């Protein structure tokens, strides 16, 4: 390669530097190609310059830009030089054809001094005698070729070659930079678009959790779609009636409609019937079951051909995407009435993708709404259930308290002798009878009244608004009349009646729940008075008198139907940490009042004398469980049973244990009877006698709640006791410096001396547990170890702890 002269080098640098500066301001490849070709002609004095760029296939080149210099002479023989744009002259050159194809294939520049001597020259212009072609390369990647031809032999020089090569290199770098930036911008745009879609999909998926009604759901769905495409006019349509009609649960239309379902009633447009011979545009898309992007001219053509009809105005662009199958089929539609925004294929693809998720969300929301209905309504009668009734009752009660309404009344209704119907004819007949009774009651009520099924054969009615004593009586008497007599069920004439208890609001009313309880008590009084009548609740001097009536009334029935259940609280050995026993605690699973704890019913049963029967019930339950659990209970396991003062003194109690001992001594020896200090005081002689009998039967006895009531250390050696259960009040103060801690320590030491084991109750913290172990208690129980458990949970707890 020859060396350029100093002047040529300077001139080449000036041209390339200026070119480099100029193309900094250019933003597109086309602008650069054009400027390159023009700059070559103007600055290097070439007759022409043409830029060829690589085609997509990578095997041909196409003319991209071109300029040529033409000289014309005036009449006075002066000359004018004109540079013309020849970019429009299209030509495609394969690799290896002619000078340009050879340069593209070899990626090497060619300076041809005499074109006539170049093998494979493609003759385009007979006046061309020399040619210069330079590849445009970026990191060995071919972008194109710069080509120039001249009519004179040996026109192009080393200076031309080097300058053109430098310009080609600068061009390649700038073009590559633009391509990278454009590519990056496209990636960013696509990423942002994908993120927008992703956010919309997440939002749509969450709508079932963030919205409470179908109206809220559709409104939020509209907002989601509006964030990813133009959705000023939006509606959702669903196929109903086995595909015979279209319903519109949500629609917003700027020209024809603007009616959001504010009341969540699910009715927007009127239903549209689907007639295959006369389809609306929505019905057409649903029938074809594929997405449609239609512009005004498309819609007009289909209207002219009577393929469909339009309700309302013709949109400039209409985009609808069906979703779902069968009973869950529907369509989501967006439309534009302005040419400022016309949906594109991209929007169609987007909505098609999103529609699947819309379908899933609608299905989930519908299922959720159904579950909510089932959660608040009775499945047999579709009436509000106890939960919904109590909510409405609470609202009415608050309105009365705030003087927004004058009064309310609760009617508690129980179907008389309903159990006999079920036992005689079967539950399916009983269910149909309940439905018939509900229909009869409904005919007597006002639109403002609420009838609910509380469970089984119990119903309640909320009367609120403007009511007085006469109105309440009139409604109640109408109910009794409507439900008295015979109902025809499956060809059977079944007599029925109801008993009704009534409670009304007064300034002295404690709460809405108390009103319901009062009405329930009044209903029981109606039952006791002979049924088929109603009774108003009257507050009695003794607050618990009505409760007593109910508990006493239900007790025998509860024993017969095994409504009393056991909860089992584990007892652990402090030394080993093993579960060596449990205390069985009574609970009443009342069919009307729910789960009752002993502090509610034990005092009532003690006063009525029915407590002895409950003691025997729980003792039998304990014995039966010891037999059933024999395979998995630890060898020295004991089950503690609480027995009342009356129960422990009862001969029936002792007789049962003696009988069971004869039948299975191994079972009864696993029992531990827990008695209170009151038992020792009130029936000392009988208790001492029975303690001796239990000792002979190898049945352990524990003194419960030691430290309360008549606490006396003398009991510890006067009576044959095996365990001393320390009251929770001592355990609560165990980590404080107090006299109780000193007393506890003394009691534990005295009990050890008398060979009586001590049990600490109510252990709730690790600190209490550690302190009691340190003091020397033998056994412990409390929530820190385990709360009272159902039998299945207790078995799991014991076996897991053993493992």
Are 358 and 323 contacting, i.e. CB atoms less than 8 angstroms apart? Answer: yes
Instruction: State the Cα–Cα distance between residues 328 and 153, nearest whole angstrom.
Output: 81
**Cα 498 to Cα 534: distance, rounded to the nearest angstrom:** 9
Residue 228's pLDDT is what?
A: 79
DSSP state of 384: B
**Mean pLDDT value across residues 579-583:** 95
User: Could you tell me if 109 and 134 are in contact, meaning their C-beta atoms sit under 8 angstroms apart?
Assistant: yes
- 363 — pLDDT class (breaks 50, 70, 90): confident
Q: Kindly report which listed range (165-174, 545-554, 609-618, 686-695) carries the lowest average pLDDT score.
A: 545-554
User: Which is higher by pLDDT, 124 or 298?
Assistant: 298
Asked if residues 757 and 779 have their Cβ atoms less than 8 Å apart, the reply is: yes
For residue 458, the model assigns a pLDDT of 92
What is the DSSP secondary structure assignment for residue 405, as one 8-state letter?
S
User: Which residues is 239 bridged to in the sheet?
Assistant: 246
Which of 172-181, 674-683, 747-756 is predicted most confidently? Answer: 747-756
Q: Which residues 6+ apart lie within 8 Å of 143 measured at CB?
A: 53, 54, 136, 137, 171, 172, 175, 176
The predicted pLDDT at position 539 comes to 45
Which residues contact residue 355 at a Cβ distance below 8 angstroms, ignoring those fewer than 6 apart?
Answer: 291, 321, 322, 323, 332
Strand, coil or helix: 587? strand
pLDDT over 70 (residue 763)? yes
If you average pLDDT over residues 678-694, what whole number do you get? 79
- Report the candidate in 369, 356, 348 with the shortest Cα–Cα distance to residue 328: 356
**Tokens coding 3:** 């060396």
pLDDT digits (tens, 9 = 90+) for 688-715: 889 999 999 999 999 987 766 544 566 6
Q: What is the mean pLDDT of residues 333-345?
A: 89
> Mean pLDDT score of the chain, rounded to an integer?
84
H runs (alpha helix) in 246-344: 281-288, 296-304
Dist. CA 158–CA 111, nearest whole Å: 9
CB atoms within 10 A of CB 714: 8
Type and span of the H or E element at 131? strand 130-138
pLDDT digits (tens, 9 = 90+) for 70-83: 776 666 655 566 77
3-state helix, strand, coil in the chain (%, to 5): 45, 25, 30
63 and 91 in contact (C-beta within 8 Å)? yes
What pLDDT was estimated at residue 251?
86
Segment 370-399 shows an average pLDDT of: 86
Give CA–CA dist 145/141, Å, rounded: 12
- pLDDT value, residue 4: 77
Q: Say if strands 60-73 and 92-94 run parallel, antiparallel, or are unpaired.
A: antiparallel
CA distance 267 to 208: 20
How many Cα neighbours within 13 Å face the side chain of 739?
Answer: 1
Residue given tokens 């004593």 in the structure block: 469
> For tokens 């026109």, what's the residue?
155
- Token pair, residue 802, equals 């053993």
Query: What own/partner pairs with CB < 8 Å and gap ≥ 24 does 379-383 have?
Result: 380/431, 380/434, 380/435, 380/453, 381/434, 381/435, 381/438, 381/453, 383/438, 383/451, 383/452, 383/453, 383/459
Q: Is 636 helix (H, G, I), strand (E, B) or coil?
A: coil
The percentage of the chain sitting over the pLDDT mark of 90, rounded to a whole number, equals 31
Question: CA-to-CA distance for 760 and 728, rounded, in angstroms?
Answer: 7
CA–CA separation, 372 vs 389, rounded Å? 14
User: Residue 268: pLDDT above 50?
Assistant: no
CB-based contacts of 518: which residues, under 8 Å, 6+ apart? 410, 501, 503, 537, 539, 546
Euclidean distance between CA atoms 13 and 1, whole angstroms: 18
Q: Which residue has the higher pLDDT, 342 or 541?
A: 342
DSSP 100-120: HHHHHHH---EEES-GGGSTT
What's the distance, CA 773 to chain centroid? Answer: 46
* 41 or 368: which leads in pLDDT: 41
Identify the bridge partners of residue 458 per DSSP, sorted by sequence position.
414, 455
Other C-beta atoms closer than 10 Å to the C-beta of 57 total 6
State CA 99 to chain mean position distance.
Answer: 70
Name every residue whose Cβ is closer than 8 Å to that of residue 421 and which is 6 or more positions away in sequence.
429, 430, 433, 494, 496
Q: Report the Cα–Cα distance between both ends of the chain, in Å, rounded.
A: 91
Better pLDDT: 424 or 106:
106
Bridge-based pairing of strands 130-138 and 110-112 is antiparallel
Q: Is the pLDDT of residue 266 over 60?
A: no
CA–CA gap between residue 760 and residue 767 (Å, rounded): 13
The answer for residues whose C-beta is within 8 angstroms of residue 188's C-beta and 6 or more apart is: none
- Cα 440 → chain centroid: 39
Q: What is the DSSP string of 154-184?
A: T---HHHHHHHHHHHHHHHHHHHHHHHHHHH
Is there a contact between 479 and 463 (Cβ–Cβ < 8 Å)? no
Q: Are 168 and 134 in contact (CB under 8 A)?
A: yes
- pLDDT of 342 above 80: yes
Q: How many CB atoms lie within 10 A of CB 450?
A: 17
Q: Using DSSP, state whether 502 is helix, strand or coil.
A: strand
């Amino acid at each position: 390669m020859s060396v350029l002269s100093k002047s040529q080098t300077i001139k080449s640098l000036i041209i390339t530097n200026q070119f480099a500066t100029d193309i900094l301001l250019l933003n597109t490849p086309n602008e650069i190609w054009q400027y390159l070709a023009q700059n070559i002609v103007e600055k290097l004095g070439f007759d022409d310059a043409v830029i060829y760029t690589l085609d997509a296939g990578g095997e041909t080149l196409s003319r991209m830009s071109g300029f040529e210099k033409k000289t014309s002479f005036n009449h006075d023989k002066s000359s004018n030089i004109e540079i013309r744009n020849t970019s429009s002259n299209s030509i495609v050159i394969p690799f290896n054809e002619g000078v340009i194809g050879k340069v593209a294939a070899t990626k090497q520049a060619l300076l041809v001094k005499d074109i006539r001597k170049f093998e494979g020259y493609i003759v385009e212009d007979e006046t061309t005698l020399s040619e210069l072609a330079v590849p445009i390369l970026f990191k060995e990647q071919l972008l194109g070729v710069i080509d120039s031809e001249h009519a004179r032999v040996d026109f192009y020089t080393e200076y031309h070659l080097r300058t053109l090569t430098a310009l080609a290199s600068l061009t390649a770098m700038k073009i590559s930079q633009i391509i990278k930036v454009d590519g990056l911008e496209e990636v960013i745009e696509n990423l942002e678009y994908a993120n927008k879609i992703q956010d919309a999909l997440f939002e749509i998926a969450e709508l079932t959790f963030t919205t409470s009604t179908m109206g809220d759901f559709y409104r939020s769905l509209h907002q989601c779609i509006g964030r990813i495409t133009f959705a000023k006019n939006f509606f959702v349509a669903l196929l109903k009636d086995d595909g015979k009609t279209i319903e519109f649960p949500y629609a917003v239309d700027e020209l024809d409609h603007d009616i959001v379902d504010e009341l969540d009633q699910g009715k927007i447009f009127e239903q549209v019937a689907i007639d295959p011979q006369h389809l609306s545009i929505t019905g057409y898309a649903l029938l074809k079951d594929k997405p449609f992007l239609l512009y005004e001219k498309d819609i007009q053509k289909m209207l002219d051909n009577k393929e469909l009809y339009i309700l309302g105005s013709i949109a400039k662009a209409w985009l609808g995407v069906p979703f779902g199958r069968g009973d869950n089929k529907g369509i989501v539609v967006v439309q534009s009435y302005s040419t400022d925004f016309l949906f594109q294929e991209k929007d169609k693809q987007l909505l098609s993708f999103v529609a699947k998720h819309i379908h899933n969300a609608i299905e989930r929301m519908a299922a959720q709404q159904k579950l909510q209905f089932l959660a608040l309504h009775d499945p047999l009668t579709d009436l509000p259930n106890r939960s919904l009734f109590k909510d409405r009752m609470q609202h009415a009660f608050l309105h009365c308290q705030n003087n927004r309404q004058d009064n309310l009344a609760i009617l508690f209704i129980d179907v008389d002798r309903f159990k006999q119907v079920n036992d005689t004819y079967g539950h399916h007949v009983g269910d149909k009878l309940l439905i018939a009774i509900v229909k009869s009651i409904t005919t007597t009520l006002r639109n403002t009244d609420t009838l609910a099924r509380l469970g089984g054969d119990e119903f309640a009615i909320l009367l609120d608004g403007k009511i007085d004593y006469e109105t309440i009586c009139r409604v109640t008497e109408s109910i009794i009349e409507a439900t008295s007599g015979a109902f025809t069920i499956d060809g059977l004439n079944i007599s029925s009646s109801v008993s009704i208890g009534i409670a009304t609001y007064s300034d002295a009313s404690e709460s809405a729940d108390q009103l319901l309880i009062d009405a329930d008590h009044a209903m029981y009084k109606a039952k006791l008075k002979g049924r088929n009548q109603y009774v108003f609740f009257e507050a009695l001097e003794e607050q618990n008198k009505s409760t007593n009536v109910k508990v006493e009334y239900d007790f025998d029935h509860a024993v017969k139907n095994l409504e009393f259940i056991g909860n089992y609280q584990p007892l652990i050995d402090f030394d080993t940490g093993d579960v060596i026993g449990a205390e069985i605690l009574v609970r009443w699973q009342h069919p009307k009042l729910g789960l009752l704890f002993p502090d509610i019913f034990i005092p009532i049963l003690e006063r009525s004398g029915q407590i002895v029967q409950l003691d025997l019930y729980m003792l039998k339950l304990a014995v039966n469980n010891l037999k059933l659990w024999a395979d998995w209970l630890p060898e020295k396991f004991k089950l503690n049973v609480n027995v009342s003062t009356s129960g422990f003194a009862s001969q029936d109690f002792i007789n049962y244990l003696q009988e069971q001992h004869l039948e299975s001594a191994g079972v009864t020896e696993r029992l531990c009877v827990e008695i209170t200090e009151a038992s020792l005081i009130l029936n000392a002689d009988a208790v001492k006698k029975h303690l001796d009998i239990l000792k002979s039967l190898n049945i352990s006895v524990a003194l419960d709640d030691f430290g309360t009531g008549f606490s006396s250390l003398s009991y510890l050696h006067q009576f044959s006791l095996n365990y001393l259960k320390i009251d929770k009040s001592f355990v609560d103060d165990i980590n404080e410096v107090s006299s109780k801690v000193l007393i506890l320590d003394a009691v534990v030491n005295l009990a050890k001396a008398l060979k009586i084991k001590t049990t600490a109750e109510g252990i709730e913290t690790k600190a209490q547990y550690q302190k009691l172990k340190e003091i020397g208690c033998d056994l412990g129980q409390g929530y820190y170890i385990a709360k009272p458990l159902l039998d299945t949970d207790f078995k799991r707890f014991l076996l897991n702890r053993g493992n």
